[in-house]
Amino acid sequence: MKIIGKGNKEILTLDDYKKYAPPKEEYQWVDEHSAKEFARKVVSGTLDNELKVLFPGIQVVLAYPEKETYFDQFSGPRNHDLACIAELNNEKITLCFEAKATEDFGSTTVKQELVKANNKIQNGENTNVPKRINGLVDKLWNKPIDKNIETLRYQLLHATAGTISFAKENNINKAIFIVYQLETAKTSSEICDDHFGALKDFVNQFGKTIEKNVPCYIKQIDNVDLSILFLQRKKDEIQIRFVCYANTAKMRFSKKEKDDKK
């Protein structure tokens, strides 16, 4: 895995990571926070090894920390914690990560974002948030906003749209959006459950059911086959096999649990 930061600088160490792919705010670069802990996993090769276990035969060619992708005509890109180009079963595939430790998916839902935007408009301020949200919902579900979509975490909408855009930028038609749950000393089970619950609600709106550590195929969006994965390491680690068919427009996933000790 070759890690590329700002200025096309190769990242080899944790110090390189902070220098060439720093988080937005300095306070985020601390132990037990997702920015630094995820960076540690990336530069140490731990993430690369985990991916090889999850997806046998995968080769991550390039990895871009803090990668920005634009998914609509409005300002404000999606900022991926890590965006990767990989090869699997003689095909290219993109992997876009949202790392979480103690922080949430953003405190606002789609409805809350719309309410804030409408308040700005009523006060004479300009905002494109309603247009952006309507565009995202149309792109992902091809329907107007409804009460179920209003309850979703807004961050998940633009994270998914950004994942699709990164694939299209690189002329790749398969992509996985990965929520990477870091288990640090400050990560509680309640936090992990909240993260998974938010993602589960999001995936349910596509008529799908997601399990932890099992990639879930969503559908083809904008000519990209999209899957979503909630990745959380546990002591009773689950082995996952990813089966990708080059000549079909779908992905199929299967899992195999370790044999129980007798």
The residue length of the chain stands at 262
Note the pLDDT tens digit of each residue in 127-161: 999 999 999 999 999 999 999 999 999 999 999 99
3-state percent breakdown (helix, strand, coil) of the chain, nearest 5: 35, 30, 35
Asked if residue 234 and residue 206 are part of one domain, the reply reads yes
Q: Are 97 and 35 in contact (CB under 8 A)?
A: no
75/168 same-domain check? yes
Residues 233, 140 share a domain: no
Tokens 């993109």: give the residue.
94
Specify if 261 maps to a domain: no
* 170 in the same domain as 134: no
List strand residue ranges (DSSP E) for the chain, in order: 2-3, 59-69, 78-88, 91-100, 174-181, 216-221, 224-232, 239-244, 251-256
Residues 24, 144, single domain; the answer is no
**What are the distances in angstroms from CA 218 to CA 62, 66, 78, 193?**
24, 25, 20, 21
Q: How many domains does the chain have?
A: 2
> Looking at the domain assignment, is residue 117 inside a domain?
yes
pLDDT of the residue at 74? 87
259: its two tokens = 């044999």
Whether 195 contacts 182, CB under 8 Å: no
CB 152 within 8 A of CB 110: yes
pLDDT of residue 258: 37
- The whole domain housing 15 covers 2-105+154-256
- pTM of the entire structure? 0.87
Is residue 262 assigned to a domain? no
Task: Note whether 140 and 230 are same-domain residues.
Answer: no
Scored b (16 or more CB within 10 A) or e, 166-189 reads bbbeeebbbbbbbbbbbeeeebee
Q: Are residues 35 and 99 in the same domain?
A: yes
pLDDT by 10s per residue, the chain, length 262: 999 999 999 999 999 999 999 988 888 898 888 899 999 999 999 999 999 999 999 999 999 999 999 998 887 899 999 999 999 999 999 999 999 988 777 668 999 999 999 999 999 999 999 999 999 999 999 999 999 999 999 999 999 999 999 999 999 999 999 999 998 888 888 888 999 999 999 999 999 999 999 999 999 999 999 999 999 865 334 344 444 433 333 444 433 333 343 4
Does a structural domain hold residue 54? Answer: yes
Amino acid at residue number 228: I
Do 94 and 121 fall into the same domain? no
Q: Are residues 11 and 129 in the same domain?
A: no
Mark whether 70 and 163 lie in a shared domain.
Answer: yes
Please indicate, yes or no, if residue 6 is contained in any of the structural domains.
yes
